[in-house]
């Protein structure tokens, strides 16, 4: 587990590798969710309203303005949320406090799970309203492609946001191993000095001493005996 910190991120202060970050499953799912939200938003804003022979614009989804408004809301907030959590993911390893990391993961789990449900509602709502739209309401199939794109990418967004929820839960479960961090990390402080201090008066001393024979000592020389002279 070398190089792995709390909640699946690198240890605090570790260098972020952009290439490795881009290859992470969470980053890939985040980018796909951003693209899908953009398609839903742009499809409805650009071609989701048609002119039925008057100056008033009508929503292509059975003339139900709530359907278009809901789709625009989901796409726009999805874009902003993906951008925000993408920045959180990139800066996650620089967060020293385990409590702050836990809050970020809990926020991601709650939002991703909730947004998965809202995109499911969006898919069902738009598909239902589109099925009730008659051909007479869309002369020359105006906005038909945009409506189908919004429905399709709402469905794709369910998959990507559900994947992000699962990845966030996995990171939260990895954070249950608190043995990688000291009490100072829990409070957001710097880790204590793991090496003995060399300063005078330091409280940390070495517990063992290494014995070394003095130089130029012949330990293996045999003792000699001199006969006394009378």
Residue 90 has pLDDT above 90, yes or no: no
Q: Lowest-pLDDT range, 133-142, 163-172, 202-211?
A: 202-211
Per residue in 174-225, pLDDT (tens digit) is 876 553 444 344 444 444 455 555 555 545 444 445 555 555 555 555 555 5
- Segment among 23-27, 112-116, 193-197 with least mean pLDDT: 193-197
Give the lowest-confidence range in 31-40, 42-51, 116-125, 169-178.
169-178
Does residue 57 register a pLDDT over 70?
A: yes
- Position 53 scores a pLDDT of 67
Q: Answer whether 67's CB lies under 8 Å from 61's CB.
A: yes
Q: How confident is the model at residue 116 (pLDDT cuts 50, 70, 90)?
A: very high
Distances (CA, A) of 74 to 10, 39, 79, 114, 195: 32, 11, 9, 12, 53
């Amino acid at each position: 587990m070398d190089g792995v910190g709390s909640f699946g991120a690198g240890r605090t202060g570790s260098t972020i590798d952009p290439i490795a970050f881009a290859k992470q499953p969470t980053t890939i799912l985040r980018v796909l969710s951003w693209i899908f939200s953009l398609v839903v938003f742009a499809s409805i804003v650009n071609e989701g309203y048609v002119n039925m022979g008057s100056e008033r614009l009508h929503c292509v989804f059975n003339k139900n303005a709530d359907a278009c408004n809901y789709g625009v809301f989901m796409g726009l907030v999805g874009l902003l949320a993906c951008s925000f959590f993408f920045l959180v993911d990139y800066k996650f390893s620089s967060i020293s406090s385990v409590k702050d990391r836990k809050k970020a993961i809990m926020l991601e789990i709650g939002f991703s799970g909730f947004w998965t449900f809202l995109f499911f509602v969006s898919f069902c709502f738009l598909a239902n309203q589109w099925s009730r739209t008659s051909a007479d309401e869309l002369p020359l199939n105006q906005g038909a492609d945009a409506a189908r794109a919004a429905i399709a990418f709402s469905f794709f967004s369910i998959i990507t946001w559900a994947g992000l929820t699962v990845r966030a839960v996995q990171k939260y479960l990895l954070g249950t191993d608190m043995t990688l961090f000291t009490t100072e990390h829990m409070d957001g402080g710097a880790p204590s000095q793991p090496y003995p201090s060399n300063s005078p008066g330091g409280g940390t001393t070495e517990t063992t001493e290494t014995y070394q024979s003095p130089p130029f000592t012949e330990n293996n020389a045999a003792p000699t005996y001199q006969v006394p002279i009378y």
